[in-house]
């Protein structure tokens, strides 16, 4: 395929697609291209099925690549193609597109959150901010970055963009290069701090109880101190005792009585008392009755019920409706 020129490939494509589809393609070409392609098709008396399939594959790859570039920029397109087809094939496809992959110096910013772009620009002059915003790869991203600025600077930056004349391409490239280097460093730092005890605790808080118990037991055998540190950051069913009455009442509103009865089978008497103390007399009686008539349950079933209630607790915390004090929390409370 690498030895066949573009005109020949276009002729193979048109011949393979048939007269109707070929005519539709020709309608989108200029007169000179139509004439050249018509001559080439006339020379193409027959096409081997294998060759036609290779041309079709290349057309599809190039079409996808163009779509990726349009949707997410060159960096995104290359990342997707490399993942699907390998590094060499990705480079070859993008090279074939030629001018289609031509990008602005700030094309890398397509996938950078506007908050990070603003964090980089915050200490810069209004002129530099205007230069960056005016050269961002989409007006939508430019608008989001502009929204991050304090109100008094938004108008100033907009004015400088409006008054901005032609800027030297070298200056734009230099600013883009510095910005990309600093933003890449930020991303690498974020990846570097992604692990650690806090990360383990966050993962376990999203896992089922069996997984949580297995991992904590394994950590306790290998590194008891680390296990204690992770455990201090976790919220488990028994930790409901640490919550205030208002929080417990909010949780109970979201919990099914049968799940609660199941969960309390494996709970301490103190937790049972705390739960009952935050229920109405009628609801408390129904819960006691449910627990009394319930037959013995497998540990797995009880833990599943506890996990459901812990999930409610975490959801309420995410919504800001309750606050969970975890190990290491020493924030000052403001009245």
Question: Would you say the C-alpha torsion 264, 270, 276, 279 has a positive or negative sign?
Answer: negative
Cα(238)–Cα(266) distance, rounded to whole angstroms? 9
Give 164 or 118, the one with higher predicted confidence.
118
Q: How confident is the model at residue 152 (pLDDT cuts 50, 70, 90)?
A: confident
Over residues 45-84, the pLDDT tens digits come to 778 888 888 888 777 776 766 665 555 555 666 666 677 6
First-to-last alpha carbon distance for the chain, in angstroms, is 74
Q: What is the pLDDT of residue 200?
A: 74
Cα(168)–Cα(165) distance, rounded to whole angstroms? 10
What residue spans define the domains of the chain? Answer: 6-101, 107-187, 195-234, 235-328
Q: What is the pLDDT of residue 260?
A: 92
Q: How far is CA 133 from the centre of its chain?
A: 24
**Weakest-pLDDT range from 193-197, 207-211, 280-284:** 193-197
Domain made up of 195-234: CATH architecture: Orthogonal Bundle (1.10)
Contact 12, 25 (CB under 8 A): no
Q: What is the pLDDT of residue 103?
A: 55
Q: What is the pLDDT of residue 29?
A: 79
58 SS3 class: helix
Cα(167)–Cα(128) distance, rounded to whole angstroms? 11
195-234 and 235-328, same CATH topology? yes
Helical H runs in 114-208? 114-121, 126-135, 139-148, 151-163, 169-192, 197-205
Q: How confident is the model at residue 331 (pLDDT cuts 50, 70, 90)?
A: very low
Contact 252, 279 (CB under 8 A): yes
Cα(225)–Cα(234) distance, rounded to whole angstroms? 15
pLDDT at 20 over 50: yes
Q: What mean pLDDT, rounded, does the chain reach?
A: 78
Q: Could you tell me the CA-to-CA distances from 155 to 126, 132, 147, 148, 246 in Å, in that order?
A: 10, 15, 11, 12, 46
Cα(182)–Cα(188) distance, rounded to whole angstroms? 10
Q: How many C-beta neighbours within 10 Å does residue 145 have?
A: 24
Q: How far is CA 207 from the centre of its chain?
A: 20
Of 171, 122, 113, which Cα lies nearest the Cα of 149? 122
Helical H runs in the chain? 6-17, 19-26, 31-43, 49-85, 87-97, 114-121, 126-135, 139-148, 151-163, 169-192, 197-205, 209-222, 224-233, 245-253, 257-263, 269-277, 281-293, 299-318
Cα(37)–Cα(29) distance, rounded to whole angstroms? 10
pTM of the model: 0.37
Cα(271)–Cα(291) distance, rounded to whole angstroms? 14
Of 322, 321, 325, which Cα lies nearest the Cα of 242? 325
Cα(82)–Cα(78) distance, rounded to whole angstroms? 6
Contact 152, 167 (CB under 8 A): no
In sequence order, the 6+-apart residues with CB closer than 8 A to the CB of 216 are 204, 227, 230, 231
Over residues 90-107, the pLDDT tens digits come to 777 666 665 444 456 777
Q: Which CATH class is domain 107-187?
A: mainly alpha
User: Residue 223, by phi and psi: left (phi above 0), alpha (psi -120 to 50) or beta?
Assistant: beta
Fold entry, domain 235-328: Annexin V; domain 1 (1.10.220)
Q: How confident is the model at residue 195 (pLDDT cuts 50, 70, 90)?
A: low
């Amino acid at each position: 395929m690498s030895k066949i020129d573009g005109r020949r490939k276009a002729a193979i494509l048109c011949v393979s697609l048939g007269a109707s589809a070929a005519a539709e393609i020709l309608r989108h070409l200029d007169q000179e291209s139509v004439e050249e392609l018509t001559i080439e098709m006339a020379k193409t008396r027959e096409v081997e099925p294998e060759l036609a399939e290779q041309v079709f594959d290349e057309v599809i790859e190039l079409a996808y690549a163009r779509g990726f570039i349009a949707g997410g920029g060159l960096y995104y397109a290359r990342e997707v193609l490399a993942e699907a087809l390998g590094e060499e094939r990705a480079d070859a496809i993008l090279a074939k597109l030629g001018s289609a992959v031509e990008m602005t110096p700030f094309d890398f910013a397509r996938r950078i959150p506007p908050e990070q772009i603003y964090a980089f620009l915050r200490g810069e002059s209004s002129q530099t901010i205007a230069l960056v915003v005016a050269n961002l790869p989409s007006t939508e991203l430019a608008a989001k970055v502009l929204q991050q600025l304090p109100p008094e600077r938004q108008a100033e930056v907009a004015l400088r963009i409006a008054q901005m004349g032609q800027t030297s391409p070298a200056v734009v490239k230099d600013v883009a290069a510095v910005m990309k280097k600093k933003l890449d460093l930020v991303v690498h730092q974020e990846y570097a701090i992604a692990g650690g005890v806090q990360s383990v605790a966050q993962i376990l808080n999203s896992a089922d109880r069996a997984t949580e118990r297995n991992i904590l037991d394994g950590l306790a055998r290998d590194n008891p101190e680390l296990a204690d540190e992770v455990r201090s950051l976790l919220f488990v069913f028994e930790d409901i005792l640490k919550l205030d009455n208002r929080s417990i009442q909010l949780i109970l509103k979201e919990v099914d009585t049968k799940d609660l009865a199941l969960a309390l089978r494996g709970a301490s008497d103190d937790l049972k008392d705390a739960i009952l103390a935050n229920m109405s007399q009628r609801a408390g009686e129904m819960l006691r009755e449910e627990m009394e008539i319930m037959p013995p349950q497998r540990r797995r079933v009880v833990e599943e019920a506890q996990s459901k209630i812990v999930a409610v607790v975490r959801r309420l915390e995410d919504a800001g409706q309750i606050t969970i004090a975890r190990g290491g929390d020493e924030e000052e409370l403001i009245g």
